[in-house]
Structure 1
């Protein structure tokens, strides 16, 4: 199969998955009992006539298929509508919080990939050593422990017992930063950033370390390293070449993990009260804020689909043998 056919096939699959995800998001919210305005009637806050007017304003009185068509049309133009709970454009809610999430996740993933890959390559090269055994035990422990448990443990120790770092939020309550520089490059931000960043790094370190270790173990006895050994290359030079040849699975896994990290970000942001898209989603679900929930879940699902597509394309481009196989 040519690369062009491979790419067309993967893009078509991604489009189909996006349509399925969009449909599931829409139908799941509509199948839930009640709607965002049901509680207003029960509490006596609004009359039935006023609630009916609100439902008409947000299009909730229209047939399901009409709501679905309008929903898809709005997604195509990235017009997520107005938040029911906050009465302002959903874009003003989700995009700033998406940036906060990416500021937390992307640097953590980059640091994790680099450090864990180096340590994993060294562990694989020194198979059977105490370093290999200790690194596997430590990283496996943190990977098998839910990230919110690690986060709570860090809060208890560093925030409440030692009182070294703040327990919640992205900045102090009195802080009023202006611009990206003051928001993300201040000392106050760094203090709030450390705990969620470190919890994320520890949680995902096991994946990259074990992947790098296994790749180096497989390549340690390969013919190309035997040739380099015969040429008189030192142990460190051989390790560097083995690590470089292990980059293909690491690069593709990095793309996959960047998309899938949204799975764990919700609990992480709730534990640390981080004002990201995951925490915004939880609040919107509790308020039955349909437009905000739809936008947040769509962004998360779309990120997973796009990063999976990118991983497939990277693997096919870096490993030409895939194009001739059954992909």
Structure 2
């Protein structure tokens, strides 16, 4: 077995272990919450105690805690998320469209941020000490250090309430009745609602990619291989592209990490903009203590982080073989 194969097997084993730890933490934390998902229904008179007992038996909540855990572990690891307690629908049927709504916001925004900010970071890194470098670093650092929900609220106040340019909340108008997938995500009504959360997401994460690309180019600018290319007569643009290409490894691995972790960052954004994504669904499910819905939502988020961490490690080891030989990681 080669060094890289051993490295890969080790990282996959770690990922499996982290997944088991994550699902266990989810189970324990939910059982520690005060109250139950049925209290409000009993108080409102919608269910009697006998009916509640029957539902708890149906969901296995009347069993000893260790039996609940084994059932939960079997179901969650086989993606059998069961039924929502309060909505009486399959959990996956509830989460699938919300996951799609989150991804339609997440992926284009992250790709746009990575491309634009990386190119800008390469430019300001090559022109170190310029006014463009100073302005871009100050601007992106300020946006990144400001909590995303503060930026979102500020944009809502300015562009929705003050200037009345774009809607403040939701993914479409209340009266809209989209017909099919294309009409759902490509209509003018959707794009009108999409502009504000998309812009806030791009601005919030732009600083990370800009600084990574800028630091990489600054480091490579004085390297021996670039001096050799300069002696061969390469133009400034060709030198910049070579320096940028050789400093892309941190950007690529960070992109993979951020793709997994951005779910958590979008929870507050989805709440502020009332965006019907998985983050907002999780907040509502926690408030209602809908165990199956919370378990599935958190599991999907945790799994995304673990998988993308594994991808980042593998990418780093693949592009830099010394990592796998030394046993290090990204």
Counterparts of 2:288 and 2:59, CA distance in 1: 15
1:2 to partner: Cα distance: 0.4
Superposed CA deviations along residues 162-188 of structure 1, whole A, max 9, x for unmatched, are 111011111111111122111111111
For 1:281-300, list aligned pairs within 5 A: 281-300=282-301
Determine the C-alpha separation between the residues in 2 that align with 1:326 and 1:48: 57
Query: 1:254-293 alignment to 2 at 5 Å?
Result: 254-293=255-294
Structure 2 equivalent of residue 211 of structure 1: 212
Please give the TM-score of this superposition, normalised by the length of structure 2: 0.97
Secondary structure in structure 2 of the residue aligned to 1:232: coil
Whole-angstrom CA distance in 1 between matches of 2:184 and 2:318 = 38
* TM-align CA RMSD: 1.1
- The aligned residue for residue 319 of structure 1 is 320
Q: How many aligned residue pairs are there?
A: 327
Extract unaligned runs of 5+ from structure 2: none
1:222-241 aligned at under 5 Å gives the runs 222-241=223-242
- Of stretches 196-205 and 227-236 in structure 1, the one that deviates more from structure 2 is 227-236
User: Residues 239-278 of structure 1: CA distance to partner in whole angstroms, max 9, x if unpaired?
Assistant: 1110111111110110001011112111000000000000
Partner of 1:161: 162
Q: Note the 1:170-185 alignment, pairs <5 A.
A: 170-185=171-186
- Distance, in Å, in 1 between the alignment partners of 2:85 and 2:44 is 17
Secondary structure, aligned partner of 2:86:
coil
Provide the C-alpha distance between the structure 1 equivalents of 2:326 and 2:4, rounded to a whole number of angstroms. Answer: 11
User: Equivalents in 1 of 2:19, 2:65: separation in Å?
Assistant: 19
Task: Tell me which residue corresponds to 1:76.
Answer: 77
How far residue 3 of structure 1 moved from its aligned partner, in angstroms, is 0.5
Q: What secondary structure, in the 3-state scheme, does the structure 2 residue paired with 1:170 have? A: coil
Question: C-alpha separation between the residues in 2 aligned to 1:76 and 1:250?
Answer: 32
| Residues 1-327 of structure 1: pairs in structure 2 closer than 5 A | 2-327=3-328
TM-score normalized by the length of structure 1: 0.98
Larger mean CA deviation between 132-141 and 60-69 belongs to 60-69
Which SS does the other structure have where 2:289 is aligned?
A: coil
What SS class does the counterpart of residue 299 from structure 1 fall into?
A: helix
Q: Which runs of 5+ in 1 are unaligned?
A: none
Q: Distance in 1 between matches of 2:42 and 2:264?
A: 35
Cα distance in structure 2, aligned partners of 1:42 and 1:275: 28
TM-superposed deviation, 1:320 = 1.1
Q: Deviations over 1:12-43 (max 9, x none)?
A: 00000000000000111111112111233344
SS in 2 for 1:13: helix
2-structure distance, mates of 1:218, 1:17: 35
